[in-house]
Structure 1
Amino acid sequence: MSKRKENFMAATRLMALHIVRGRSLSSSLKERMDYTENDLKTEEKKYISTYGCDIETADEEFLLSHQQYHNSVRDIRKKEIIAYQIRQSFKPGEITPDKANEIGYELAMRFTKGKYAFTVCTHTDKAHIHNHIIFNAISIDGTKKFRDFYFSGIALRRISDILCLENGLSVIKPAPYKERKSQGRYSRKGHFTDKRLEFLKDIEAKLHEGKGKGYVTWARRFNAKQMAKTVLFLQDHKISSYEELRKITDERSGRLQELKDSMKEKEALLSENKKRQQAIIDYSKNRSVFESYKESGYSKKFYAEHESELLLYKAAEEVYKSVPKGQKLNMQKLRDEYGHILEEKKKEFLEYVQLNKDMHEYMIAKKNLEMLYQMDADKNEKEGRDKRTRNSHSENVL
């Protein structure tokens, strides 16, 4: 067996199936399905599952949806895409055909969201078990066509990785662009040699341990789907250890607190600035009322008639008195200062929102790892206690 196959892990590929040149839509679709449903490859159709169609008439049911779509929406075009094929391969010896077919079905269901009929044929004729999933390009109700979106292959791989991790299977790390360019779409060379991947491999190993005797207890305390997402999160963010993850979360927590404190200070500055601007307005607007009040000899009757204006003037006067000596209140200067502080606060708020959003994912990953490693520590502690008990018992016997 070649080195390439020894390193083979769960991998996916999405392909569009077109009308074969010189053939009809019907014959093009039947030829592709006949290959995937081959009795020798599927052990006489033992490992086949379907959704929205029957395996014996799948090609005809696909065609009915095509006819409905082309009759009501648009005619058949040149190089018409009739269906899409997903290939999903697994590491040799790691999975049974039944389980592979089950995972393939779930992959197709999550990717198509149950809107397109599909067949899942698991082939066992190679060293590595693999799925051929064909889903119709036309929706089950015949009203729309599947649109292959940008990075659809990456989205497909991510769903497959999550499913594999949920089921304790190996996943493959996408090669750097430079390697892919020279060695093909997916390089499998040395994926588990660097520190970061050894860390991820250690996490996967601990998840596999959970599949033993204590799996039921583990499953109640731990969400396998969430852990699968955590492993991919660590991989995507190139985090190589728990210590590195904790350092990142601590730094981000510190930065979030700095931003909160800074925004709070700026809010106070904005409030004081606004207060001074209002003081200028109130002082100017009610100065004449106060002068009239003073000329009246501080008449109680005049005060009663102009109480609100005089109170505003008095409050404005107190603000003027609070300004440090040598400084004067200037409306234009205050407005410019207000705009500058507000702009800085907005920038900090945007940074805070983004950091807080990312922080949620980092904290989930940190919490999941802490739970995982705590379980490992509890296990080691229990084994240590059992060993000490056995040794003590042996000494008593002697």
Structure 2
Amino acid sequence: MAATMLIPLHHVRSKSVADCLKRSIDYIRDSRKTEDEKYVSTYGCDPNSIEEQFLLSRKIYEDNVRKPHKKDIIAYQIRQAFKPGEITPEHANELGYELAMKFTKGKHAFIVTTHTDKHHIHNHVVFNAVAIDGKSRFRNMYFSSYALSRVSDMLCLENNLSVIQSRYEEKIRKHGKENDRGNNHGLDYNSLSFLVDIEKKMREGKGKGYENWARKFNLKQRAKVLLFLEEHGISSYEELVKKTDSMDAEIEELNSKVKARNQKMADNKELQNAIIAYSKTADSYTAYMKSGYSKKYLAEHEKEIQEHKKAKAIFEKLPDGKIPKLKDLRREYGELIEANRPDFQQYVQLKNERRDYLIARKNLELLLAREEAEKEEKAKAKPSRSSRSEASL
């Protein structure tokens, strides 16, 4: 049940920035909590001069970008707590370091300390609000805490550690009550339960069958598929199939629209080029006719004459035989581009989303196949009544 919190550390006006930093860092480095600083790691700063290096980045930012405002945030603290008895302090510190690195993308200096003074092991991470190079600050967006918890969940699932109670379990409990009242809204409880079972297996990691499975399907993949399904509200394999199929139809429809417009644009551009070529080569072709179609003149002006003939051939294909004005063609071409842009952007976006859904679908199919294989193995291993009777004879 790795719980996470993101806490901004504000500058208290009655104290200096250095004092505020020192107070926070001294607290998380307390030797009584970290077993004489046995479980302390840093990135982008020396353990003996953390405050000074934080302040140096801050000074570069203030000199080159802007001065701090009234409610200035000097650093951020991450708290990450683990289920009692589930992790060692060494491993917890490694995960805390990895969490901080992933969350800050390696742009901010930080210190990670692991406290062992409570019944549950927990990490404290303090990272500088200003980037190491002093060119930018961390932006604490509305969903930053959510993003932090998702990164932490992913790391925990990859390492067979518990996470906060799954939203699927909450759905099962919530809709289970509604089902008792005869109002199930058509939800597939077995599918929801199946996804919770996956998470439990990931936590336990026990059994020979599981070990064989793990060799083919690693923890990272399983963590990704579970989180993907949760984040996209997919509660069953059938829902996932329906979603990918509907995306296929939408992609095909958009693709057809884009292709049709592309063809119109190609025809339009061909006609534009033909009008321009016809105009440029008109004098040469007129002179060629006046020469009585002289072979000598043709040899000297073959390129222009061929371009003129090619343009005339394109005009002959026009359904009404009327050559449109060049400015009208250019306007139409621009309109086709504008009409195509949103459809093409949506097409690319859906293609990328579909790829992610198909990966999740394939991974879920592997999970389902493993579940079925385990059931068959258990059924074969369990002796039937007739076999027990024969054995007793």
TM-score (norm 2): 0.74
Corresponding residue for residue 128 of structure 2: 137
How far 1:331 moved relative to its partner? Answer: 2.3
1:304 and 1:24 map into 2 onto residues whose CA distance is: 89
Whether the 8 Å contact between 1:10 and 1:91 is mirrored in structure 2 is yes
Which residue of structure 2 lines up, in the alignment, with residue 328 of structure 1? 322
Cα 1:329–1:169 shift into 2, 3 Å: same
Residue 207 of structure 1: how far off its partner (Å): 2.8
Question: Given the alignment, which residue of 154, 167, 171 partners 1:162?
Answer: 154
Q: Is the 8 A contact 1:88 1:104 kept in 2?
A: yes
Q: Which residue of structure 1 aligns with residue 269 of structure 2?
A: 274
Distance of 1:155 and 1:96 partners within structure 2: 25
In the alignment, which of 352, 366, 370 is matched to residue 357 of structure 1?
A: 352
Cα distance in 2 between the residues matched to 1:115 and 1:256: 40
- Paired with 1:200 and 1:173, the residues of 2 have a C-alpha distance of 13
Q: Cα gap change, 1:49/1:197 in structure 2, threshold over 3 Å: closer, same or farther?
A: farther
| Aligned amino acid, residue 221 of structure 1 | K
Helix, strand or coil at the partner of 2:309: helix
CA distance in 1, matches of 2:285, 2:240: 65
Alignment of 1:2-17 (within 5 A): 9-17=1-9
1:51, distance to aligned residue in structure 2 (A): 0.9
Question: Could you tell me which amino acid in structure 1 is paired with residue 40 of structure 2?
Answer: T
Match of 1:49 in 2: 39
CA contact (8 A) 1:137 1:145 kept: no
Measure the CA separation in 2 of the matches of 1:25 and 1:276.
69
Change beyond 3 A, Cα 1:71–1:303: closer
| Shift of residue 30, structure 1, vs aligned partner | 6.5
For 1:12, the aligned partner's letter is: T
Tell me the distance in 1 between the aligned counterparts of 2:281 and 2:26. 92
Question: CA deviation digits over 1:316-372, x for unaligned, max 9?
Answer: 222222222x44121244333322323333332211221122222222211211111
Letter in 2 for 1:62: I
Opposite residue 355 of structure 2, the aligned amino acid is H
Partner of residue 257, structure 2: 262
For 1:133, the aligned partner's letter is H
Aligned to 2:245: 250
- CA–CA distance in 2 between the matches of 1:246 and 1:66? 50
Residue 222 (1) aligns with residue 210 (2) = no
2:111 counterpart of 1:118: yes
> For residues 312 and 32 of structure 1, do their structure 2 counterparts lie closer, same or farther at Cα, with a shift above 3 Å needed?
closer
Alpha-carbon separation, structure 1, partners of 2:302 and 2:350: 50
Which residue of structure 1 lines up, in the alignment, with residue 311 of structure 2? Answer: 316
Partner of 1:171: 163
Matches within 5 A, 1:1-398: 9-17=1-9, 36=28, 42=33, 45=35, 49-52=39-42, 61-65=49-53, 84-91=76-83, 100-112=92-104, 113=106, 116-123=109-116, 125-126=118-119, 129-135=120-126, 137=128, 147=138, 149-150=140-141, 151-172=143-164, 190=170, 193=173, 194=175, 198=193, 200-208=195-203, 210-324=205-319, 326-332=320-326, 333-387=328-382, 393-394=387-388, 396-397=390-391, 398=393
**TM-score for the superposition, normalised by structure 1:** 0.73
Identity within the alignment, %: 41
CA deviation after TM superposition for structure 1 residue 204, in Å: 0.9
Separation (CA, whole Å) in 2 of partners of 1:139 and 1:122 = 26
The CA distance in 2 between the partners of 1:71 and 1:320, in whole Å, is: 70
Taking a change above 3 Å as real, the CA distance of residues 323 and 139 of structure 1, as seen in their structure-2 partners, is closer
For each residue in 1:125-151, what CA deviation from the matched residue of structure 2 results, as whole angstroms up to 9, or x when unmatched?
A: 35xx24141435389989789735324
Structure 2 gaps, min length 5 = 176-188
How far did residue 48 of structure 1 move?
5.2
